[in-house]
Amino acid sequence: MNLYTVLLVDDEEEVIRVIMKKLNWEKLGFSVIGYANNGIKALEMVEEYQPDVVMTDIRMPYMDGLELSHRIRTDYPATQLLLFTGFDEFEYAKEAIHLKITDYILKPVNAIELTNVFTTLKIKLDKEISEKRSVQILQKYYMESLPLLQANFYSTLIEGRIHEDELASYLSDYQISFSGPYFCCIVIHTSSTQVPENMNPLLLATSVRKQAEERLSVRWNTKSFSYLGNTVMIAQLKSADMLSDLTDECDRFCKYARKIIGAVVTVGVGQICGDIMELQQSYSTAREAVSYRVIYGASRAINIKEIAPQEKGEAGASDDEINMLFKAIRLGTEENVTEAVDNYMKNVVFPEKSLQYHHIAVIEMTGALYRFSVNNGIADGNFPADMKDLYSSLLDLEPKSLRSWLLEISQAFRISLINARSRSTQSFVFKAQEYVRSNYADDTLSLDRVCSVLNVSNSYFSTIFKKETGKSFIGYLTDYRMEQASRLLIETNEKNYIIANQVGYADPNYFSYVFKRQFGVSPSKYRAEHTDGER
């Protein structure tokens, strides 16, 4: 049977050991995945393991149980929280009622009381999971949809088929309000091939949509509808720099959907716009962002601005075949590009029509390729200064030679985009490392701050940083600070608390804790071991 996971948090290790021994956890339906002796360590473990239940003491060093509960409730709302406290802390703990604490347990911990608490909690968790996975509930979600006229309007809007002079009438007739002032389309794609056992893919997608509406609609004032097999949301932002926050929240939703209902969800975040008449382009880029899951992986949010900052679309290239070729250049393999070139040659350039049609097709193809190179920041060395010379030479080429030219330039574009993406990720990882080296002494330095400076979402930055360096950002920052601390301990006679402050730790006790975890000895002992031989 599947066991619910529990994380225990208390700075007294003996208390944790007693709790672990007092209960038959497996019989109750739970499994203790580990324990932490302070709130900061607990938060790291929650991020890594996402336990179903966190049971925490209130009084702890570095981050107390109430602050830990607040952070968990904000970022991981599905996690159940239990507080165990001393009698004199109980009224203090009751003040945290707004945190929706599941239960309060008085110390010393009583085995019977603990058993009752976790028995009740198991029933509650079973009920929540059952409701979310119940076929009857999913059927109800499936039958619920936005009014037909509103859904049709949203679809028509992102297709670019609403004229500006008709807009006010549509909004009034369909009782739709867009307050903005900024807008962004997000496309929510649910995998139809990776689904829980005995689950209907269509019902699963409907459940994902319902959960997305519940978690995203309030803060982002979204308009949601189904389109081409995906859920599309039009999010409204108060400022343009909130796009990274939207991406991070969508990323957390993807992980939530995987954990709670077993769905593999990818969210594409399109470009931001200041006019709802520009939502066609925002939708187009959001749908394109979803396609990048073949590069960056599923179960995450992908922001088109972050992964392809130079790629702006191909104005004027509307044929299906040319769009398929451009998609293969962006996302496909060398074989995919070859296949797309052959398809384009077969269906567009050499159909059984007039010579005039062939000439027009070649000119349109060349123009589309040129626009693609410009919009994607690809060097224009593939094109002469006078395009007439290129047109003239291409029109005279026999089919085999023209195909070779198109294949060569398409493969060159593909390599250019791969290199551009690599340079882009390496560049901002380098900038982040430079920022750490310049600001590591600042105790307020954090992942949020670095992402704000670089103007990227936490989720994308964390993924790329770990891929490029092999470490999480916090791990890299800690390692760098410890490297500087060890150097100062050997090269100077400064006291430990001064060195702690110099490397970004306001609390010297926490500095000692981290240092010992890193090197296996306290700062004082480290200094003695490395300087005794020099005296």
* DSSP of 76-137: -TTSEEEEEE-GGGHHHHHGGGGG--SEEEESSPPHHHHHHHHHHHHHHHHHHHHHHH-HHH
Give the pLDDT score at 362: 84
Rounded CA-CA distance 525/514 in Å is: 14
Which is higher by pLDDT, 378 or 274?
274
Domain contains 388: yes
DSSP state letters, 295-317? HH-SSEEEEHHHH-TT----TT-
Answer positive or negative: Cα dihedral of 252, 255, 258, 260: negative
The verdict on 156 and 242 lying in the same domain is yes
Q: Could you tell me what percent of the chain has a pLDDT over 90?
A: 45
CA distance 255 to 422: 26
Residues 393 and 262 in one domain: no
**Which of the two residues, 26 and 144, has the higher pLDDT score?**
26
Give a yes or no: residue 244 inside a domain.
yes
Q: What are phi and psi of 147, to 5 degrees?
A: -50, 145
Assign 348 a pLDDT band (cuts: 50, 70, 90): confident
What are 282-330's pLDDT values in tens digits? 999 999 889 888 667 789 999 988 876 444 444 333 467 888 888 888 8
Predicted model pTM = 0.53
Portion of the chain with pLDDT greater than 70, in percent:
88
Asked whether the beta carbons of 262 and 196 are under 8 A apart, the reply is yes
Residue 8 pLDDT class (50, 70, 90 cuts): very high
Beta bridge partners, 6, equal 32, 53
pLDDT at 361: 83
Per-residue pLDDT, 251 = 94
Judge whether 24 lies within some domain: yes
Looking at residue 386, its pLDDT comes to 67
Structural contact between residues 151 and 231, judged by C-beta atoms closer than 8 angstroms: no
pLDDT band for position 97 (50/70/90)? Answer: low
The answer to whether the beta carbons of residues 64 and 91 sit under 8 Å apart is: no
Q: Does some domain include residue 472? A: yes
User: To 5 degrees, how large is the angle CA 446–CA 448–CA 454?
Assistant: 105
Q: Are residues 286 and 207 in the same domain?
A: yes
CA torsion angle for 278, 280, 284, 289 (degrees, to 10)? 50
Kind and range of the H or E run holding 184:
strand 182-190
Supply the pLDDT for residue 312.
Answer: 41
Confidence of residue 380 (pLDDT cuts 50, 70, 90): low
Q: Are residues 67 and 193 in the same domain?
A: no
- Residue 415: the pLDDT is 87
Distance CA 124, CA 527 (A): 53
In a domain, 139, yes or no: no
User: Is the pLDDT score of 189 beyond 90?
Assistant: yes
Give yes or no for a contact between 310 and 301, defined as CB atoms under 8 angstroms apart.
no
Q: 195, 176 in Cβ contact below 8 A?
A: no
- Which pLDDT tens digit goes with each residue over 424-445? 777 788 899 999 999 999 999 9
Do 153 and 281 have their domain in common?
Answer: yes
- Per-residue HEC secondary structure of 138-173 comes to HHHHHHCCCCHHHHHHHHHHHCCCCCHHHHHHHHHH
Give the span between the Cα atoms of 188 and 269, in whole angstroms.
9
Per-residue pLDDT tens for 232-246? 999 999 999 899 999
Query: Is the separation of the CB atoms in 32 and 6 below 8 Å?
Result: yes
User: What confidence category does residue 509 fall into, taking pLDDT thresholds of 50, 70 and 90?
Assistant: very high
- Is the domain of 115 the same as that of 196? no
Instruction: Write down which residue in 104, 133, 162 finishes a domain.
Output: 133
**How far separated are the first and last CA of the chain, in Å rounded?**
62
Q: Exposed, middle or buried by CB within 10 Å (0-12, 13-18, 19+), for 503? A: buried
Q: Are residues 266 and 365 in the same domain?
A: no
Residue 314 lies in a domain: no
- Look at residue 314 in the predicted model and tell me its pLDDT: 40
Is the distance from CB of 46 to CB of 58 less than 8 angstroms? no
Nearest to 251 by CA among 308, 175, 188: 188
**pLDDT at residue number 237:** 96
pLDDT at residue 378 tops 90 = no
Confidence of residue 158 (pLDDT cuts 50, 70, 90): very high
The whole-chain average pLDDT of the chain stands at 85
Report pLDDT for 27.
92
Residue 467 token pair? 């891929």
Nearest to residue 340, comparing CAs of 411, 421, 285? 411
Task: Specify whether 42 is located in the same domain as 112.
Answer: yes
The answer to whether position 432 is within a domain reads no
Read off the CATH number of the domain in which 100 is found.
3.40.50.2300
What is the pLDDT averaged over residues 493-512? 93
Per-residue pLDDT at 110: 81
Q: Cis omega (within 30 of 0) on the bond before 384?
A: no
Q: Is 352 helix (H, G, I), strand (E, B) or coil?
A: coil
pLDDT band at 460 (very low <50, low <70, confident <90, very high): confident
- Check residue 389 and give its pLDDT: 74
| Structural domain for 343, as ranges | 320-418
Residues 283 and 365 in one domain: no
Decide if 201 is inside a domain: yes
* 327/330 Cα distance (integer angstroms): 5
Asked if 510 and 517 touch (Cβ cutoff 8 Å), the reply is no
Residue where one domain finishes, among candidates 109, 133, 157? 133
Q: For residues 127-152, give the mean pLDDT.
A: 69
For 319, the token pair is 């044929």
For residues 156 and 148, give the distance between their C-alpha atoms in angstroms, rounded to a whole number: 12
Query: Which residue is associated with the tokens 């599941």?
Result: 102
Give dist(CA 67, CA 73) in Å, integer. Answer: 10
What is the residue type of 302? I
For the chain, the domain total comes to 4
| Local structure of 264: helix, strand or coil | coil
Alpha carbon distance 320, 329 (integer Å)? 14
**One domain, residues 152 and 290:** yes
- Asked if residue 485 has pLDDT above 80, the reply is yes
Same domain membership, residue 409 and residue 482? no
pLDDT, residue 535, reads 45
- pLDDT given for residue 130 in this prediction: 79
Q: Check which CATH number belongs to the domain holding 499 and give it.
A: 1.10.10.60
CA distances from 407 to 347, 361, 364 (A): 15, 16, 16
Query: What is the rounded CA–CA span in Å between residue 236 and residue 217?
Result: 10
Taking residues 69-91, report their average pLDDT: 81
Whether the per-residue pLDDT at 278 is higher than 90: the answer is yes
Average pLDDT of the segment spanning 503-517: 93
Alpha-carbon distance 321 to 324, whole Å?
5
pLDDT in tens, 45-66: 998 889 999 999 888 888 888 8
> What mean pLDDT is predicted for residues 69-97?
76
What is the β-pairing status of strands 80-85 and 53-57?
Answer: parallel
* Higher local confidence (pLDDT), 310 or 226: 226
**Which secondary-structure segment (H or E) carries 34?**
strand 30-36
Do residues 156 and 266 both lie within one domain?
Answer: yes
**Residue closest to 513 by CA, chosen among 527, 532, 501, 500:** 500
The alpha carbons of the chain give a radius of gyration, in whole angstroms, of: 29
Asked which of 246, 274, 307 is the last residue of a domain, the reply is 307
pLDDT interval class at 140 (50, 70, 90): low
